[in-house]
């Protein structure tokens, strides 16, 4: 099966829905349908990607026999019902992170996907970033891993901070960090102890700050820091440090001006210009949606991987499967439980 034979419906035409629709078109897939209650937004995207159908309700695309796969890029609380409906309809699924906001909901989706036998991939695009791949390749499995993922305070009226719709910073985007910790540790989490709580949003019933120690089953020990209590001017929004004895590597300012720094390895520094293909290296931009920045963060590569999986049936090595997507949410939830219970918890 070629990419042109794969017909995709996009559910949610906001920031990520637009990015995925354009990447699918660029990869040669058929962007058949777009769903968003804001029909004007969907219609505008239709003009950009040449979609054939625009609807307000994503269920219409899930039930459409012309659709082979759906991209779910809606608010987090809608992920579970849409994923369950898609699996039951026999549609393959690309779903934005987090998979869900509770462990029980994640398990529901895992069960539905596996029972239906459909392919399901979650949008943890950093797995495909040349920064992350190069760091893991050069350092290897670390002895100690440090990860930070911090933001300025999120607004109290943001949907992502809503306990039901978004879950707050730790659940909403901390899942990126937890997934990458497993990627770099090359193992499964075993024991978690966390401290933190609600430091910035007393009006909301969320956990917005976590400092955790995580021991992996393969012996890697890790420290995780996530929350919206302030921006780190040195490390940026996200950073990862891998210590492997004689080899040490760091990815700093991942979402800002990313670069790799090494001790015990050469070269001592790698930037985006070093990693980019020639046609993108000459196109620097501060806009995260520019082709150069999207490629450096792995967005087109993950869509190509999803299409490859659908085309030949073999899951690409770095594709985030449904169980791994559930793992990222489970790690965030276990951190919150450790804080609330005041004790170390098993993963």
Q: Is residue 320 part of a domain?
A: no
> Residue 116 — pLDDT band, cuts 50, 70, 90?
very high
For residue 136, the domain's CATH number is: 3.30.360.10
Number of domains composing the chain: 2
What gap in Å lies between CA 8 and CA 30, rounded to an integer? 6
Beta bridge partners of residue 213, listed in sequence order: 193, 223
Q: Is pLDDT at 299 greater than 80 in this prediction?
A: yes
Residue by residue, what is the 3-state secondary structure of the chain? Answer: CCHHHCEEEEECCCHHHHHHHHHHHHCCCEEEEEECCCHHHHHHHHHHHCCCEEECCHHHHHCCCCCCEEEECCCHHHHHHHHHHHHHCCCEEEECCCCCCCHHHHHHHHHHHHHHCCCEEECCHHHHCHHHHHHHHHHCCCCEEEEEEECCCCCCCCHHHCCCCCCCHHHHCHHHHHHHHHHHHCCCEEEEEEEEECCCCCCCCCCCEEEEEEEECCCCEEEEEEECCCCCCCCCCEEEEEEECCEEEEEECCCCCCEEEEECCCCCEEEHHHHCCHHHHCCCCCCCCCHHHHHHCCHHHHHHHHHHHHHHCCCCCCCCEHHHHHHHHHHHHHHHHHHHHCCCEEC
Q: Is residue 45 part of a domain?
A: yes
Shared domain for 268 and 144, answered yes or no, is: yes
For residue 57, the domain's CATH number is: 3.40.50.720
Q: Is residue 159 part of a domain?
A: yes
Shared domain for 112 and 136, answered yes or no, is: no
Establish how many alpha carbons lie within 13 A of residue 322's alpha carbon, considering only the half-sphere containing its beta carbon. 24
For 59-107, what is each residue's pLDDT tens digit?
999 999 999 999 999 999 999 999 999 999 999 999 999 999 999 999 9
Q: Is residue 18 part of a domain?
A: yes
Shared domain for 140 and 289, answered yes or no, is: yes
Q: Is residue 205 part of a domain?
A: yes
In terms of residue numbers, what domain contains 279?
126-297+325-346
Shared domain for 213 and 251, answered yes or no, is: yes
Q: What is the mean pLDDT of the chain?
A: 96
Q: Is pLDDT at 290 greater than 90 in this prediction?
A: no
Q: 238: closest CA among 108, 131, 313, 316?
A: 131
Shared domain for 159 and 279, answered yes or no, is: yes
Residue by residue, what is the 3-state secondary structure of 139-190? Answer: HCCCCEEEEEEECCCCCCCCHHHCCCCCCCHHHHCHHHHHHHHHHHHCCCEE
**Pairing status of strand 120-122 against strand 92-95:** parallel
Q: Is residue 302 part of a domain?
A: no
Q: Is pLDDT at 341 greater than 90 in this prediction?
A: yes
Measured CA to CA in angstroms, residue 123 lies from 99, 144, 162, 287, 322 at distances of 9, 26, 21, 20, 10
Shared domain for 167 and 292, answered yes or no, is: yes
Shared domain for 244 and 264, answered yes or no, is: yes
Shared domain for 8 and 85, answered yes or no, is: yes
For 164-211, what is each residue's pLDDT tens digit?
999 999 999 999 999 999 999 999 999 999 999 999 999 999 999 999
Contact by Cβ (8 Å): 95, 121? yes
Shared domain for 214 and 337, answered yes or no, is: yes
Please identify, among 66, 100, 124, the residue that sits at the C-terminal boundary of a domain. Answer: 124
> Residue 122 — pLDDT band, cuts 50, 70, 90?
very high
Measured CA to CA in angstroms, residue 222 lies from 61, 176, 271, 327, 333 at distances of 42, 15, 25, 16, 17
Shared domain for 57 and 137, answered yes or no, is: no
Please identify, among 124, 145, 179, the residue that sits at the C-terminal boundary of a domain. Answer: 124
The count of residues in the chain is 347
For 218-268, what is each residue's pLDDT tens digit?
999 999 999 999 999 999 999 999 999 999 999 999 998 899 999 999 999
Shared domain for 168 and 106, answered yes or no, is: no
Shared domain for 153 and 270, answered yes or no, is: yes
pTM over 0.85: yes
Of 124-133, 277-286, 292-301, 316-325, where does mean pLDDT reach its minimum?
A: 277-286
> Residue 3 — pLDDT band, cuts 50, 70, 90?
confident
What gap in Å lies between CA 297 and CA 275, rounded to an integer? 11
Please identify, among 89, 104, 124, the residue that sits at the C-terminal boundary of a domain. Answer: 124
- Tell me the average pLDDT across 131-155: 98
In this prediction, residue 289 carries a pLDDT of 77
Q: Is residue 137 part of a domain?
A: yes
In this prediction, residue 309 carries a pLDDT of 97
Q: 113: closest CA among 139, 125, 131, 95?
A: 95
Q: Is residue 319 part of a domain?
A: no
In this prediction, residue 284 carries a pLDDT of 59
């Amino acid at each position: 099966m070629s990419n042109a034979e794969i017909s995709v419906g996009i559910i949610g035409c906001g920031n990520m829905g637009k990015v995925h629709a354009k990447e699918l078109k660029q990869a040669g897939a058929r962007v058949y349908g777009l769903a968003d209650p804001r029909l004007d937004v969907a219609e505008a995207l239709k003009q950009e990607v040449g979609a054939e159908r625009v609807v307000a309700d994503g269920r219409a695309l899930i039930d459409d026999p012309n659709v082979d796969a759906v991209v779910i890029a809606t608010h987090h609380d809608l992920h579970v019902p849409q994923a369950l409906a898609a699996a039951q309809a026999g549609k393959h699924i690309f779903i934005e992170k987090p998979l869900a906001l509770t462990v029980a909901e994640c398990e529901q989706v895992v069960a539905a996907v596996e029972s239906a036998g459909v392919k399901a991939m979650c949008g943890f695009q950093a797995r495909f970033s040349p920064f992350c791949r190069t760091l893991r390749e050069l350092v290897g499995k670390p002895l100690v891993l440090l990860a930070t993922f911090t933001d300025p305070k999120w607004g109290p009226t943001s949907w992502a901070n809503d306990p039901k719709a978004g879950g707050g910073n730790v659940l909403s985007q901390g899942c990126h960090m937890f997934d990458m910790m497993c990627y770099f540790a090359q193992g499964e989490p075993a024991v978690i102890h966390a401290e933190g709580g609600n430091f910035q949003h007393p009006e909301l019933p969320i956990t917005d700050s976590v400092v955790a120690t995580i021991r992996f089953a393969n012996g890697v020990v890790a420290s995780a820091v996530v929350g919206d209590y302030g921006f780190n001017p040195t490390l940026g929004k996200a950073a990862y440090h891998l210590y492997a004895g004689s080899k040490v590597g760091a990815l700093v300012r991942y979402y800002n001006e990313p670069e790799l720094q090494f001790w015990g390895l050469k070269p001592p520094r790698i930037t985006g210009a070093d990693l980019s293909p020639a046609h993108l290296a000459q196109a620097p931009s501060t806009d995260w949606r520019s082709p150069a920045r999207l490629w450096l963060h792995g967005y087109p590569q993950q869509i190509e991987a999803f299409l490859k999986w659908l085309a030949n049936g073999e899951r690409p090595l770095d594709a985030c499967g449904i169980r791994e997507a559930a793992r990222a949410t489970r790690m965030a939830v276990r951190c919150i439980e450790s804080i609330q219970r005041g004790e170390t918890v098993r993963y």
